[in-house]
Amino acid sequence: MPVKRRLLHVPAPTGDEAVTAICAVVRRIPKGWVATYGQVAAMAGLPRRARLVGRVLQRLDPSAAIPWHRVVNAKGEVSCSLSRNGSDALQRRLLESEGVEFDDKNRFDLERFRWLD
């Protein structure tokens, strides 16, 4: 075997395929519920690619009808970052308008609001 070959090379979706899969999952999150980045990745057939989900959401076209605000991190909080330029604050506001209650530490009860398929 002259060529080194990846065992377990499952053709995981990449590029546009992955973006499409991720968006399809996020669109299914019901109003008033949330899903974590890792959860969305797994449901999109992209295990361990939580980071990719975050990247896709950040670059989403604003005109796309995708409830990006319903995707949160595994700690049960809105991921805050300077690079978000305020969209993190907007995310919290949108979630609160859908009934998600935050505590004084910018966190909510993940067990209570997590969307289970």
82 is a contact residue toward DNA (CB under 7 A): yes
43 is a contact residue toward DNA (CB under 7 A): no
51 is a contact residue toward DNA (CB under 7 A): yes
Q: In the complex, what is the shortest distance from the CB of residue 99 to DNA, in angstroms, rounded to a whole number?
A: 18
20 is a contact residue toward DNA (CB under 7 A): no
Strands, DSSP E only, in 18-111?
A: 35-36, 71-72
List the structure tokens of 92. 């919290």
Q: What's the distance, Cα to Cα, between the start and end of the chain in Å?
A: 44
36 is a contact residue toward DNA (CB under 7 A): yes
106 is a contact residue toward DNA (CB under 7 A): no
Q: Which residues contact 22 (CB under 8 A, 6 or more apart)?
A: 40, 41, 44, 46, 52, 53, 56
State phi, psi for 59 to the nearest 5 degrees.
Answer: -100, 10
84 is a contact residue toward DNA (CB under 7 A): yes
Answer for which of 17, 28, 45, 79 binds DNA (CB under 7 A) is 79
Residues that bind DNA (CB under 7 A): 14, 36-39, 48-55, 57-58, 60, 68-69, 71, 73-75, 79, 81-84, 87-88, 91
